């Protein structure tokens, strides 16, 4: 019996050792399988270096469009003297870009959502270059230059709606804010060129009564020729590099966007305008964005009313835009790092109020260096609102198409800006300079107040985290389930928003 007991104990020990060996092999196999699944899952997302090439040339094409739009703003009094036309006619050099944006934003968004960004970019490039070179017929008929501006304006909405879409499809989650900022700031960079370029090329000495109209027309023709060459160099390269999307998506959100069927624009607009946070962001952005457009259009009138020389127009405009570029890149870096959208947007609003008040309080002093310095800080405070609002809008409205949501943001911004520009221009024409500047300050205050009613619900970020963690934990089988979960998340975001928000606030 002792022998049998001893033999049984040996057998039990052997069985236990075998079980441990099997379990160890199973664990190693499971670990290896999970590692393989994780590697496979990670390999489905990839960042391509060419994304920066596309982003840079896309940005330069918008810079070229901005140059064409603003390139004559600083010299409108000189143009009026050379061609003997009224101020209302010279305003038509800028107004087509503002007016045509309103009806063209919807076909632009339709093309971007249904056919990608390539076709809109091709169209924008062709209209930009054709319109620019048509302006060379100005000395046959002055309205040729206005016709060229109209042709150029026909393409601008097709690229101004695309920065957020380009960022979403080509860049990783932690790069989207800075890439979106590059695209959104391209037009202001073009405005800098538009303010600076005339300085060495055309001035008061070239216009009557200081010179003959014929001399002024030759100088203006030369200026347009040089401007066209710059526009062509900046605007043409994008057509050789633009692609709708990379072969492999850079993130889970990009993968979702590529698989998503194009949505009905009317239905998507309905979803947007049921989103209270989007509406409040829209109101806030429209008030603050109007200041940028109005300052660009009315800088000459403002300078004249406060007794600054015409040469101050370029200095003031350049200082404001350079400040805006500096501030925008700073905000983009902070946004990518901390993603505090509402906090940064509130900071922008309060900084705008303070700097705008300082500009108003000191313009009557008549000091160009002081006014230029304060306009620089106003640019630092105000222009970052464009990039931050674009990124915030994409978060608040996910999964609605980025081009549509940001396009509507710009649409209402343009409508508000048109009204403010018209009102300020009329007030300045009749000599009411302080009501004009206080009206602009009032717009900034209203925009800042509206920011308090925007809640920071980061839907795009939350959906990306869900899909990413789900795919890495489950492996190959998760790829199918991941798509299903993202689709369900998108549907829940649109249809069950009232149930979702209290849960988000409770969790936060």
CA-based nearest residue to 413, from 383, 438, 458: 383
CA distance 287 to 413: 7
Looking at residue 14, what is its pLDDT? Answer: 55
User: Measured at the alpha carbon of residue 327, what is the angle toward residues 323 and 332, in degrees to the nearest 5?
Assistant: 150
Q: Where in the chain is the domain with CATH 1.20.1250.20?
A: 47-249, 263-456
- The class that CATH gives domain 47-249 is mainly alpha
Looking at residue 439, what is its pLDDT? Answer: 94
CA distance 156 to 227: 17
Looking at residue 40, what is its pLDDT? Answer: 40
* pLDDT tens for each residue of the chain, 508 residues long: 444 444 554 455 554 555 455 445 444 444 444 444 444 445 577 888 888 899 899 999 999 999 999 888 878 878 888 998 876 677 778 888 888 888 888 888 888 888 888 999 999 999 999 999 999 999 999 999 999 999 999 999 898 878 778 888 888 877 777 777 777 778 878 887 888 898 888 888 888 888 888 999 999 999 999 999 999 999 999 999 988 888 888 887 777 777 766 667 778 888 888 899 999 999 999 999 988 888 877 777 788 788 888 778 788 888 988 898 889 888 888 887 888 888 998 999 999 999 999 999 998 888 899 999 999 999 999 888 888 888 888 888 888 877 788 888 888 988 898 888 888 878 887 888 899 999 999 999 999 999 999 998 888 777 765 444 323 222 333 333 333 333 443 444 444 444 344 433 444 3
Looking at residue 136, what is its pLDDT? Answer: 94
Looking at residue 498, what is its pLDDT? Answer: 44
Token output for 38 = 């994780």
User: Measured at the alpha carbon of residue 330, what is the angle toward residues 373 and 342, in degrees to the nearest 5?
Assistant: 105
CA distances from 314 to 72, 75, 340, 476 (A): 11, 9, 35, 59
Looking at residue 169, what is its pLDDT? Answer: 84
The CA R_g of the chain, rounded to the nearest whole Å, is 28
Looking at residue 268, what is its pLDDT? Answer: 81
At 389, give phi and psi (nearest 5°): -65, -40
Concatenating the DSSP letter of every residue in 393-440 gives HHHHHTTS-HHHHHHHHHHHHHHHHHHHHHHHHHHHHTT-HHHHHHHH
Q: Are the C-beta atoms of 34 and 475 separated by less than 8 Å?
A: yes
At 493, give phi and psi (nearest 5°): -65, -40
Looking at residue 6, what is its pLDDT? Answer: 46
At 275, give phi and psi (nearest 5°): -90, 105
* H or E element in which residue 381 lies: helix 368-382
Q: Are the C-beta atoms of 494 and 264 separated by less than 8 Å?
A: no
CA distance 104 to 267: 18
Only one residue has tokens 């500096």, namely 326
Q: Tell me which CATH homologous superfamily contains domain 263-456.
A: MFS general substrate transporter like domains (1.20.1250.20)
Looking at residue 180, what is its pLDDT? Answer: 75
CA-based nearest residue to 136, from 125, 151, 153: 151
Mapping DSSP onto H, E and C, the string for 478-508 reads HHHHHHHHHHHHHHHHHHCHHHHHHHHHHHC
């Amino acid at each position: 019996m002792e022998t049998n007991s001893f033999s049984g104990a040996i057998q039990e020990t052997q069985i236990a050792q075998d079980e441990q060996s099997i379990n160890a092999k199973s664990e190693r196999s499971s670990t290896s399988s999970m590692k393989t699944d994780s590697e496979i899952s990670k390999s489905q997302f990839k960042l391509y270096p060419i994304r920066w090439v596309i982003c840079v040339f896309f940005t330069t094409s918008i810079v070229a469009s901005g140059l064409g739009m603003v390139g004559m703003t600083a010299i409108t009094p000189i143009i009026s003297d050379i061609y003997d036309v009224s101020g209302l006619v010279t305003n038509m050099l800028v107004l087509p870009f503002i007016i045509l944006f309103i009806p063209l934003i919807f076909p632009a968004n339709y093309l971007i959502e249904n056919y990608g960004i390539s076709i809109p970019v091709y169209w924008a490039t062709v209209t930009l270059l054709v319109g620019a070179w048509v302006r060379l017929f100005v000395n046959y008929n002055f309205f040729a230059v206005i016709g060229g501006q109209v042709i150029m304006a026909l393409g601008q909405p097709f690229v101004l709606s695309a920065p957020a879409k380009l960022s979403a499809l080509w860049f990783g989650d932690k790069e989207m804010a800075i890439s979106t900022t590059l695209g959104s700031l391209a037009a202001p960079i073009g405005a800098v060129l538009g303010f600076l370029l005339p300085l060495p090329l055309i001035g008061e000495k070239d216009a009557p009564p200081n010179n003959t109209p014929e001399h002024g027309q030759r100088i203006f023709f030369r200026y347009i020729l040089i401007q066209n060459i710059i526009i062509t160099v900046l605007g043409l390269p994008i057509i050789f590099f633009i692609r709708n999307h990379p072969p492999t998506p850079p993130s889970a959100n990009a993968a979702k966007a590529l698989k998503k069927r194009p949505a009905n624009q009317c239905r998507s607009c309905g979803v947007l305008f049921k989103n209270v946070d989007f509406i409040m962001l829209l109101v806030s952005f429209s008030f603050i964005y109007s200041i940028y457009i109005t300052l660009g259009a009315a800088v000459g009138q403002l300078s004249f009313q406060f007794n600054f020389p015409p040469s101050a127009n370029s200095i003031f405009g350049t200082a404001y835009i350079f400040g805006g570029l500096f501030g925008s890149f700073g905000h983009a870096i902070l946004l990518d790092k901390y993603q505090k959208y509402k906090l940064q947007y509130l900071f922008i609003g309060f900084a705008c109020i303070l700097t705008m008040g300082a500009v108003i309080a000191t313009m009557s002093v008549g000091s160009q260096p002081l006014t230029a310095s304060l306009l620089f800080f106003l640019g630092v405070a105000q222009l970052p609102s464009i990039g931050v609002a674009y990124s915030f809008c994409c978060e608040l409205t996910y999964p609605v198409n980025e081009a549509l949501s940001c396009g509507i943001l710009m649409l209402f911004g343009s409508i508000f800006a048109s009204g403010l520009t018209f009102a300020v221009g009329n007030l300045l024409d009749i000599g009411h300079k302080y009501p004009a500047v206080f009206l602009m300050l009032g717009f900034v205050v209203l925009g800042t107040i509206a920011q308090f009613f925007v809640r920071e619900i980061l839907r795009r970020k939350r959906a990306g985290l869900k899909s990413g963690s789900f795919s890495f934990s489950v492996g190959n089988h998760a790829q199918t389930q991941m798509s299903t979960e993202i689709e369900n998340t998108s549907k829940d975001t649109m249809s069950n928003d009232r149930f979702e928000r209290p849960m988000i606030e409770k969790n936060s």
